[in-house]
Amino acid sequence: MSPVRILGTGSSAPERILTNFDFEKIVDTSDEWIRTRTGIVERRIADPDIATSDMAYEASLRALEAASVNSIDVDGVILGTVTPDYFFPSTACLLQSRLGAKKAFAFDLSAGCSGFVYGLQLGKAMIESGEARIILVVGAETMTRIMDFKDRATCVLFGDGAGAALIGKSDMSGILSLCLGANGDDWELLHMPAGGSRIPPSEETVRNRLHYIKMKGNDIFKEAVKAMESASIEAIRKADITTEEIDLFIPHQANLRIMEAVRKRLDIPPKKVFINVDRYGNTSSASVPIALDEAVRSGRVERGDLILFSVFGAGFTWASGIIRW
């Protein structure tokens, strides 16, 4: 098996910012409520002419540049998203074309917020097996397009953005472990009811606001903490390291209180946790790769550092992993 590591990362987010104070004018909420319950201060919102593939493209260009890899050398594009440009073709195909990654296969992956980390696992396995040498893994979302700006319980939580990582064969192993999980029993706690084959789009579905995120946040909170904790313990064990050795913990940026609960359970000191939920809100599958890219570019991560990341999302799906940078 060939060792696999991340060769370079990139991220992108729209310039336009929506603050908690902006939301005070839209729904019955307050900056104080959003800040104390979630840790979010502001999030990015894409202009009407920007879609998921546009942000994915920017993030991917930066990852290619950071890795010094030419797009023609990419063997595959795996893109995690719940907000594709179109139902089909896949956003990954649009990205593949725009990048000129002519040799690459391309497909989207639907695993909620865990899409990027699921993609990492798939890409890693393909490289290890010798089926591919370099794979572009992307998490990209335009969550503001499926946010109900009349539902205060959800609309204040999400934001837009994209993160990308190029992974490839290497002399030393960089991705030490990945542990994925899913449980579809409670899928209704976080879903978008209409638009698919179960409830096709109609005037009625639009009238009833069924093309927006529906979420029972409180129930998800507890499940997220439990799953992120147990997957992280498994990832640490599988990588054959100790928790004390971890240099940086990158949790899914959905809610500061969830991150804090997981951190405490894992007994990781606060200074080792990477947080940017205050600036982006929950960007779903883009959350972990944006955070990773920011950590790398801001110097929070140095060669050889051990990074733990953990994510939880719709499905439910979850995943944790250990990287040696």
Counting Cβ atoms within 10 Å, is residue 204 exposed (0-12), middle (13-18) or buried (19+)?
exposed
Site for ligand UT7 in 250-309 (CB under 6 A): 254-255, 258, 282
Catalytic, 113? Answer yes
Query: Could you tell me which stretch among 30-38, 86-94, 123-131, 240-248 binds ligand UT7 (CB under 6 A)?
Result: 30-38
The answer to whether residue 179 is catalytic is no
What spatial distance separates the first Cα and last Cα of the chain, rounded to whole Å? 19
Note if 191 is an active site residue.
no
**What does the per-residue mask of binding to ligand UT7 show for 107-136, with x meaning CB under 6 A?**
------x-----------------------
- Exposure string (b/e) for 27-65, b if CB count within 10 Å is 16 or more? eebebeebeeebbbbbbbbbeeebbbbbbbbbbbbbbbe
Q: What are phi and psi of 261, to 5 degrees?
A: -65, -45
Residue with smaller CB distance to ligand UT7, 254 or 295: 254
Q: How far is the CB of 228 from ligand UT7 (least distance, A)?
A: 9
Interface mask (CB under 6 A) for ligand UT7, residues 151-180, using x and -? -xx--xx-----------------------
Exactly one of 35, 37, 191, 297 binds ligand UT7 (CB under 6 A); which one? 37
Residue located via tokens 């904790």: 229
**100: phi > 0 → left, psi -120 to 50 → alpha, else beta; which?**
left
Question: Which position has the token pair 């696992």?
Answer: 121
Sign of the dihedral defined by the CA atoms of residues 114, 117, 120, 121, in that order? negative
Beta carbon of residue 94, minimum distance to ligand UT7 (angstroms, whole number)? 25
- Active-site position among 93, 113, 155, 179: 113
Contacting positions for ligand UT7 (CB under 6 A):
29, 33-34, 37-38, 113, 152-153, 156-157, 217-218, 220-221, 224, 254-255, 258, 282, 312-313
Catalytic residues: 113, 252, 282
